[in-house]
């Protein structure tokens, strides 16, 4: 028996476990989302199938498997089938790189599926592969609404991918590695990155909302505007695969935010005073943080109206992109000049917080960047009679 | 097949432990990818076997608010705004910028303070292009 077989089998087992766990989590996530949205709107949500509606996800899954799988005559047969597989494949793979504990804490095995040195880059690459799934799905449907949704979606996702990629640069400068384990260990020593990078975190949060197509940025599937966007011609399990990919991407984005800015699988150290060792509980803390961000995703969905498409693109290009670059240069300046002169990381945290506050205070002035269409001034010609129509 | 050949050649003798472990991590990555894609393929196949197959002509028409579809279809050359093309081009430019920034960011603490001026020059050069794009009103969707 070759010596690589046992580790490969363990990895296979872990990969299958992660994939199944994500799919189960997706199923119950839909239930939790419906229940929470219902509670926020003072109604009850699904509570008939099983106790507290707990069997609702199962019923939905069985239904979507037994549905007829239609394919419109105009569709491109191969790509139409491949697009949902691509979407779910990249979405599930992206999660495997997130470390859920220190080495060897999963019954002697490592609690991650793969641990690349370029972990963050691999994750960003995989999430942006999701664009292909959505765009090809919309294009291959051979119908107009999916094509519209696909175009809008791809332009939106690539725009906010820039914001996402640029807003983590400051964190990377501080830590000096793209390996998730190194990032978490650095935070265990120096404090969570959110303390020094609250401005970057705000940009990253907004970008990841847009990247996973959630309200207020869910234009690709804006039901009231373009039917269901790229999902219009999909039925049965292929539709479900796209939905799964969206929710799995949401979980990955939450895990990424937790890992990059909130100390990953380590809890706050000051809690150790209450219960010794609580900050080191593996997996639990990561799940808690992911749960918090998922709740945030749902909460925002129940709260904010959708942006218009032009507002969305202006917001991404005119606000998020330059601010992310500015944040990067701020961190670079701090590391190059302020830190050697004795002002520590806490000063960077203050600067970052101040930048965020300035942005909030300036909100009304900055809003013209994305809300008012800065039309060229056309001299007003009084062609319409006043008062008449 | 190619992948198997690639990995067996990488894992061959004459490699140090560190190199081996890097290759093994990428092998784990490929395993995860295969499992994820496999789940998708399995779901599609199971659904294709279990679901009913009673397609009619009307069922297979593209959705168009109840009308007969007009034009449409893959490769019929529908036209769409050139803005999408411009945004894609801008994305390529700025994504390359991001790609250049990553190694700089990771190695930054070893290169300061010189690297700061490098980064600043680079960002300023790009800002010139960015301001040009703004002035040309490429980002206005009116």
In this prediction, residue A295 has a pLDDT band, given cuts at 50, 70 and 90, of very high
**Mean pLDDT, to the nearest integer, of A139-143?**
80
In tens, the pLDDT along A346-373 reads 888 888 888 888 888 887 777 777 776 5
- Tokens found for residue A23: 């799919």
Q: Determine the pLDDT at residue A339.
A: 75
pLDDT given for residue A388 in this prediction: 47
Provide the b/e sequence for B88-109 (b: ≥16 CB within 10 Å).
Answer: eebbeebbebbeebbebbbebe
- Asked if B66 reaches chain A (Cβ–Cβ under 8 Å), the answer is no
Nearby residues of B113 by Cβ (< 8 Å), 6 or more positions away? A336, A337, A340
Task: Identify the bridge partners of residue A106 per DSSP, sorted by sequence position.
Answer: A109
Chain A partners of B100 at a C-beta cutoff of 8 Å? none
Cα–Cα distance measured from residue B108 to residue B99, given in angstroms and rounded to the nearest whole number: 14
Residue A224 confidence class, pLDDT cut points 50, 70, 90: low
φ, ψ (nearest 5 deg) of residue A382: -80, 75
- For A309, the closest of B39, B106, B141 (CB atoms) is B141
Rounded CA-CA distance A22/A76 in Å is 30
Of residues A353, A370, A371, A350, the one with CA closest to residue A361 = A353
What pLDDT band is residue B25 in, cutting at 50, 70 and 90?
Answer: confident
Query: For residue A160, what is the nearest residue in chain B, using CA coordinates?
Result: B91
Of A18, A69, A141, the CB nearest to B51: A69
pLDDT digits (tens, 9 = 90+) for B36-66: 899 889 988 888 888 788 878 777 777 776 7
Give the C-alpha distances (Å, rounded to integers) separating A204 from A65, A157, A169, A260, B100: 36, 13, 11, 10, 19
Tokens of A209: 């909302």
Interface of A with B in 311-330 (CB under 8 A): 313-314, 317-318, 321-322, 325, 328-329
- Here the tokens at position A68 are 């007829």
> Crossing angle of helices A77-95/A236-261, nearest 10°?
30
Query: Is the pLDDT assigned to residue B71 strictly greater than 80?
Result: no
Please say if the pLDDT value at position B8 is more than 70: no
Q: What phi and psi, each to the nearest 5 degrees, are found at residue A106?
A: -105, 80
Residues of chain B positioned with their CB less than 8 A from the CB of A142 = 62, 72-74
- Nearest by Cα to A94 from B25, B102, B36: B36
The shortest CB-CB distance from A65 to any of B46, B130, B134 is to: B46
Give dist(CA A387, CA B21) in Å, integer. Answer: 79
Going by C-alpha positions, the residue among A75, A99, A105 that lies closest to residue A185 is A99
Q: Stretch A138-157: mean pLDDT, rounded?
A: 82
Q: What is the ipTM of this complex?
A: 0.83
Q: How far is A275 from chain B (nearest CA, A)?
A: 36
């Amino acid at each position: 028996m070759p010596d690589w077989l046992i580790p490969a089998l363990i990895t296979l087992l872990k990969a299958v476990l992660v994939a199944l766990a994500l799919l189960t989590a997706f199923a119950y996530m839909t239930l939790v989302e419906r229940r929470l949205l219902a509670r926020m709107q003072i109604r009850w949500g699904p509570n008939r199938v099983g106790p507290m509606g707990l069997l609702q996800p199962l019923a939905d899954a069985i239904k979507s498997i037994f549905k007829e799988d239609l394919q419109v005559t105009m569709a491109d047969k191969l790509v139409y089938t491949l697009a949902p597989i691509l979407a779910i494949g990249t979405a599930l793979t992206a999660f495997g790189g997130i470390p859920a504990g220190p080495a060897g804490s999963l019954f002697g095995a490592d609690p991650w599926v793969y641990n690349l040195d370029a972990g963050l880059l691999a994750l960003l690459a995989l999430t942006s592969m999701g664009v292909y799934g959505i765009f090809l799905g919309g294009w291959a449907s051979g119908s107009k609404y999916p094509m519209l949704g696909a175009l809008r979606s791809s332009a939106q996702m690539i725009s906010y991918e820039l914001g996402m990629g640029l807003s983590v640069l400051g964190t990377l400068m501080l830590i000096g590695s793209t390996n998730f384990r190194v990032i978490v260990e650095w935070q265990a020593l120096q404090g969570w990155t959110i303390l020094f990078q609250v401005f970057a975190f705000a940009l990253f949060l907004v970008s990841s909302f847009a990247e996973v197509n959630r309200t207020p940025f869910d234009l690709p599937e804006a039901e009231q505007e373009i039917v269901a966007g790229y999902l219009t011609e999909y039925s049965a399990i292929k539709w479900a695969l796209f939905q799964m990919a969206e929710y799995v991407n949401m979980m990955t984005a939450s895990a990424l935010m937790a890992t990059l800015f909130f100390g990953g699988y380590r809890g706050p150290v000051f809690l150790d005073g209450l219960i010794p060792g609580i900050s080191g509980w593996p997996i639990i803390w990561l799940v808690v943080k992911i749960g918090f961000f998922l709740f945030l995703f749902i909460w925002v969905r129940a709260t904010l109206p959708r942006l218009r498409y032009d507002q969305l693109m202006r917001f991404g290009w005119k606000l998020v992109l330059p601010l992310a670059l500015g944040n990067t240069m701020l961190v670079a300046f701090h590391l190059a000049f302020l830190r050697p002169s004795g002002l520590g990381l806490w000063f960077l945290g203050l600067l970052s917080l101040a930048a965020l506050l300035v942005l909030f205070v300036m909100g009304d002035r900055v809003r013209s960047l994305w809300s008012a269409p800065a039309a060229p001034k056309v001299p007003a010609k009084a062609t319409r009679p006043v008062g008449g129509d | 097949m190619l992948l198997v050949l690639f990995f067996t050649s990488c894992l061959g003798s004459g490699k140090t432990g560190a190199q081996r472990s890097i290759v093994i991590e990428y092998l784990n990555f490929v395993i995860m990818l295969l499992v994820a894609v496999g789940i998708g393929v399995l779901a599609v196949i199971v659904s294709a076997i279990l679901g009913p197959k009673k397609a009619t002509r009307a069922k297979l028409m593209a959705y168009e608010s109840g009308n007969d579809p007009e034009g449409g279809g893959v490769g019929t050359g529908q036209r769409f705004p050139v803005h999408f093309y411009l945004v894609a081009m801008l994305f390529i430019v700025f994504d390359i910028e991001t790609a250049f920034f990553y190694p700089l960011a990771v190695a930054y603490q070893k290169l300061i303070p010189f690297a700061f001026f490098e980064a600043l020059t680079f960002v300023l050069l790009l800002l010139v292009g960015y301001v040009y794009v703004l002035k040309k009103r490429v980002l206005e969707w009116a």
